[in-house]
Amino acid sequence: MNIFELLKVNSFSKLKVINKNADLYREIETIESTETPDVAEYLPKNTLLITTAMAYKDDQEQLCMLIRKLNDLPCAALAIKLGRFINYLDEKVIMTADELGFPLLQIPMDVTLGEIYHQMLGYLWNVQNKEVLYALNTQKKFSTLIFQGASTEVLLNNLGIILKKLVVLMDPLGNIIGSNDNFIEGDMKNVKELFFSLSLYKKQSGVVQYYIDPKKKKGRISIYPFHAFGRNSYYLFIFNSESLPADISALVIEQVLLAFEFSLYKNLCILYHKLKDNERFLLLLLDKNKMEELPPQQLLSIEEKHGLRPSKFYYVVLVTLESFKNNKFHVDKFSHREQKYIFIYEWLQKDILKNYHNSIILVPEIENYRYVLLIQDNDNDLEEKLRYYHDRLLEMLQVKVTFSYGNRVSEIEAIKYSYYGALESYQVGEERDDISFIKHFKTKNVNELLKTLSKDEVEGFCIYNLKTLAYPQDVKSLEIRNTLRTYLESKCSITETSNKMFLHRNTVKYRIKKCEEILGRKIDESDFILQLQLSLILTEEK
C-alpha cells in the first residue's frame, strides 16, 4: 500500500498533504509513533512516522535534518500533528521536503496520536494480510499456467486482466517481446522511446521506477526490472499504474515477476535444444559427423530447411563472443554466459531473417561461444550491420564480439574451406577500413604457406630437388646456386641472366650446364622449374 491509496480511505481522508511535491506513491510497510529525536537510527524502511515534532518546537532546522535522514532510509512519510507543540512549519522545512519529494502529512487536531496510530496500523495489517493471500493465489494461478505450457503472451494477457491495465514485457536490448491485447502501435513506439531515453540498460537496478507518460504528459508508468542474466534485466511496463486495484501490492507483482523469470528460463532451455539441432547442420557442412562427404544435391536436399540454397558463391563470417571464449559451455546449469549466448543467438537470428531472409544463415557453434554466418548472396551493407551488432551488444549487454571473414567459394562442398579460412582470419587476419572488430582473410605468400611443413619434410624436399646445391658450403657451389636462382627468376633466359649478374653469356651457359649435371636432369619442364624455385625459397629461409 502507498500514501496515495491510504489517503483515499475514508478513515484517513482528513489527513492533509502539506507540501506540493510530495511523492505519494511511496510504499508503506509499517507505522511508527515516537517523539525521539534520533528515531531515524531505529526505524525500518518504508515506515510512516507519526509525531507531534515536540523535540523540534524551538529548532525546525533540526527537523529539516530529520527529513533528510528519513528520506535516505527511505521512509514513506512524516505525519505531524500541528497545533500541539508546533503551530506551523517553517518554509525551509517545506522546501526541504519538496526538494526530496518527501511527503509531509498534517494530522487533524481532533484526532489523538494513539487513535490515528492504531487505526492506521490495523488497516495496514488488514491490507497486508489480504495482499499475502492474493499474492499466493496469483502465484498459484501463474504457476499453473506455466506448467500447462502457457506462452508469454498468455501470461501477459492474464496479468492485464488482473490489473485491468496495459502491460508490456521488454528484453534487455529494448525489444518488445510481448504485451496484453490492449497494446497498439503507438504504445510500442512510446515504450521503446522511454526505454532508450532513460537508458534503463545502464542503470542495472532491481528497484521499481515510476515515470509520467511522456506522450500524454499524464498517467504513471511503472517499470519493474527483473533478473535475466548477469547484470541485465527484462522489464515489465504497467501503464496508468496510479490507479491499480486496491488488492494489487508489490508482493503480488513480485510473484508475477518470478513467474515470468521462470517462464523465460524455460524458454531458454527449449531454445538450447533448437540450437543443438541447428549445430548439426554446421557439422554436416564441415564433414565433422560423417566419414564420407555428401554430394552437393544431397546436402541441399537434407539442409533445405535451414535455408541452404544454390548460389554463385558462399563464404563464412565467424562471430566470436570475446567475453566468453575461454569458458566452457555448461549444459546442465546455465550461468549468465550460457543464457546470454542463447539470447544473442535468438536476437541475431530474428534480425538477420528480417533483413536478409535466406541470403544469410546463422548457425551456432556452441562449445566455442561462436556463431557462423553463412553468406550466400550479395552483402552490400553487411559490414555496416556487423558494426551495429557490435556496438549494440557491447553497450547493452557488455559483450564484445569479433567478426572474421573467410574466402569466397563457389561450391557447397567447399564451404568448409571458407570456414577454416575464417578461423585463420580470426587468428592472423588483417583489419580493413580501421574496423578493429572485423578481420579479413590475409592471403599467404609462398614462404608463409611452406612454413606449415615440418623441418624434415622441408629438408627432404629441398635435397631431393637441389641435391648438393640445397645447402652449399664452398664458394664455387654458392656461385652455381646463385646463377641457378637468377636464371629461374629470369624465366630461363641466358641473356637476361648474364645482364643481371654482369657475366658473359658463355659463363652463364657453363654454370647452367653444371647445374643440370648436379641435378641429374635438364631444366626445361615447368613442374621441375617450380619445384626448384620452391626449394630455393625454402633453403634461403633456412
Indicate if 16 and 161 belong to the same structural domain.
Answer: no
Please give the pLDDT value at position 115. Answer: 87
Residue 249 has pLDDT above 70, yes or no: no
Please give the pLDDT value at position 291. Answer: 41
Residue 289 has pLDDT above 60, yes or no: no
Q: Within a 10 A sphere around the Cβ of 73, how many other Cβ atoms?
A: 15
Span of 36-45, 250-259, 281-290, 317-326 with lowest mean pLDDT: 281-290
User: Mean pLDDT over residues 325-349, rounded?
Assistant: 87
Indicate if 402 and 454 belong to the same structural domain.
Answer: no
Burial zone of 297 (CB within 10 Å; 0-12 exposed, 13-18 middle, 19+ buried): exposed
Q: Where are the beta strands (DSSP E) in 114-252?
A: 167-170, 176-179, 209-212, 220-229, 232-239
Number of domains in the chain: 4
Residues 469 and 483: beta-carbon distance below 8 Å: no
pLDDT digits (tens, 9 = 90+) for 474-528: 999 999 999 999 999 999 999 999 999 999 999 999 999 999 999 999 998 888 9
Residue 75 has pLDDT above 50, yes or no: yes
Residue 235 to residue 211: CA distance in whole angstroms: 14
Indicate if 240 and 386 belong to the same structural domain.
Answer: no
Residue 79 to residue 18: CA distance in whole angstroms: 10
Residue 512 to residue 448: CA distance in whole angstroms: 29
Looking at the DSSP assignment, which residues form a beta bridge with residue 222? 210, 238
Residue 319 has pLDDT above 90, yes or no: yes
- Work out the pLDDT band at 85, boundaries 50, 70, 90: confident
| Three-point CA angle 226, 232, 234, nearest 5° | 40
- Work out the pLDDT band at 158, boundaries 50, 70, 90: confident
Last residue of a domain, one of 401, 427, 443: 443
Q: Is residue 86 part of a domain?
A: yes
| Three-point CA angle 489, 495, 500, nearest 5° | 55
Indicate if 324 and 426 belong to the same structural domain.
Answer: yes
Indicate if 218 and 337 belong to the same structural domain.
Answer: no
Span of 136-145, 161-170, 523-532 with lowest mean pLDDT: 136-145
Residue 90 to residue 152: CA distance in whole angstroms: 53
Q: Within a 10 A sphere around the Cβ of 527, how many other Cβ atoms?
A: 7
Indicate if 76 and 97 belong to the same structural domain.
Answer: yes
Residue 386 to residue 398: CA distance in whole angstroms: 16
Indicate if 278 and 381 belong to the same structural domain.
Answer: yes
Indicate if 46 and 61 belong to the same structural domain.
Answer: yes
Residue 136 to residue 149: CA distance in whole angstroms: 20
Indicate if 478 and 370 belong to the same structural domain.
Answer: no
C-alpha cell at 32: 511508527
Residue 539 has pLDDT above 80, yes or no: yes
Q: Which structural domain range is residue 218 located in?
A: 150-248
Residue positions counted in the chain? 542
**Pick from 161, 163, 343, 136: which is nearest to 246 by CA?**
163
- Work out the pLDDT band at 12, boundaries 50, 70, 90: confident
C-alpha cell at 469: 646445391
Find all residues with CB under 8 Å of 326, minimum gap 6, and list them: none
- Work out the pLDDT band at 70, boundaries 50, 70, 90: very high
Instruction: Render 11-29 in DSSP notation, one character per residue.
Output: GGTT-EE-STT--TT-B--
Residue 266 to residue 447: CA distance in whole angstroms: 53
Indicate if 192 and 293 belong to the same structural domain.
Answer: no
Find all residues with CB under 8 Å of 353, minimum gap 6, and list them: none
Residue 304 to residue 202: CA distance in whole angstroms: 41
3-state secondary structure of 116: helix
Indicate if 481 and 435 belong to the same structural domain.
Answer: no
Residues 389 and 302: beta-carbon distance below 8 Å: no
CATH number, position 303? 3.30.70.270
Indicate if 465 and 434 belong to the same structural domain.
Answer: no
Q: Within a 10 A sphere around the Cβ of 198, how many other Cβ atoms?
A: 14
Measured between its terminal Cα atoms, the distance across the chain in Å is: 83
